[in-house]
């Protein structure tokens, strides 16, 4: 069966990558196949997860690239090499330019650990999001999966799931709950939905 080729971009532990790999193994992610992982950091544990799943991986070290253009050129080279048709940002901490995102219109997905438009945009990533949510005193937070465009966290929303904030939560405890109850559920579901759409478009666009 034809499957959509997925490349996953990571920067750290790769827990969302693991959720995608697990979904692929269980059949929940059926219409797509993870064909490559690219990390912006050479020390990202997500690279170990990719290796354990026998998925090819590469590193484009953001710190060693003099410019955004150079960084994205190297990224694109790997994505092209993998034949990626869908790009998923799974804890990828680098903002992508308009020239990059325009190459994959409605083909780049991101999971963000809040209910957008709350606690999102430039500077809101990782624990910073949960610190902000607790400081503001919200009673409900969650996660959002959205398409990526040139505006940080500004693309069309696909899925959101609310997660309660509990008394005594620390940013770390809240982060774990949001991942477990929202991110790891929403991201594979959205990936499958987009792969189904892309397969349909391919089929409809194929010459008779």
What are the catalytic residues? 112
Give the single-character DSSP code of 62: G
CA dihedral 172→175→179→181, nearest 10 degrees, is 100
Q: Which residues make Cβ contacts (< 8 Å) with residue 18, sequence separation at least 6?
A: 46, 49
Query: Using CA atoms, how far apart are residues 135 and 97, in angstroms rounded to an integer?
Result: 30
- Least Cα distance to 114 among 162, 146, 74 occurs for 162
Quote the strand ranges of the chain, DSSP E.
Answer: 4-10, 32-39, 57-59, 86-89, 108-112, 140-147, 157-164
Residue found under tokens 């610190």: 131
Tell me the torsion sign for CA atoms 83, 206, 89, 27: negative
What SS3 string covers 19-60?
Answer: HHHHHHHHCCCCCEEEEEEEECCCCCCHHHHHHHCCCCEEEC
Query: Using CA atoms, how far apart are residues 36 and 45, in angstroms rounded to an integer?
Result: 15
């Amino acid at each position: 069966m034809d499957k959509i080729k997925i490349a996953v971009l990571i920067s750290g532990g790769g827990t969302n990558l693991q959720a995608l790999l697990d979904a692929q193994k269980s059949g929940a992610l059926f219409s797509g196949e993870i064909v490559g992982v690219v990390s912006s950091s050479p020390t990202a544990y997500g690279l170990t997860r990719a290796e354990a799943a026998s998925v090819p991986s590469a590193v484009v070290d953001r710190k060693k690239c003099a410019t955004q253009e150079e960084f994205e050129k190297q990224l694109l080279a790997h994505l092209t090499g993998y034949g990626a048709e869908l790009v998923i940002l799974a804890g990828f901490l680098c903002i992508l330019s308009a020239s990059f995102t325009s190459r994959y219109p409605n083909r780049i997905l991101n999971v963000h650990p809040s209910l957008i438009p709350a606690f999102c945009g430039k500077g809101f990533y990782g624990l910073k999001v949960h610190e902000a949510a607790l400081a503001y005193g919200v009673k409900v937070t969650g996660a959002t999966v959205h398409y990526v465009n040139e505006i940080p966290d500004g693309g069309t929303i696909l899925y959101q799931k609310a997660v309660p904030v509990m008394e005594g939560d620390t940013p770390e405890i809240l982060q774990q709950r949001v991942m477990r109850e929202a991110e790891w559920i929403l991201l594979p579901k959205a990936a499958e939905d987009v792969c189904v759409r892309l397969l349909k478009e391919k089929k409809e666009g194929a010459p008779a």
